Amino acid sequence: MVASSPSTSNQTGWHIGFWAAELTHPLRVFQEAGYEVELTSTEGGKLMMDGYSNPTDASGWAAGFMADFNQSGSGDFQKTSNFGGFLRHDF
């Protein structure tokens, strides 16, 4: 699965990252189905969740997604490979 690497918004100057539910929901479904999932990102390295999508954020905006976040193996978000290094015929 591919996620966006951390960045800074050109419009707001805020730090932005991947939207939690867009990654953790399908990741959890794939893992529960028995698939081995490798996380990659556009730049490689540590992933950063967008603050508003983080179920632990004080705003509580995404608190309903905590189960998917906890069960998806969020520790895998610390080090991802660079998506550019993958070739279609490798799979």
Structure confidence by residue, pLDDT tens digits, 38-79: 888 888 888 888 877 777 777 776 666 655 555 555 556 767
Domain that holds residue 25: 2-90
For residue 23, CA distances in Å to 10, 11, 13, 40, 76 come to: 23, 24, 23, 11, 12
CB 77 within 8 A of CB 70: no
Rounded mean pLDDT of the chain? 77
Question: Band of the pLDDT at 34, cuts 50, 70, 90?
Answer: very high
How many domains does the structure of the chain reveal?
Answer: 1
pLDDT the model gives residue 63: 65
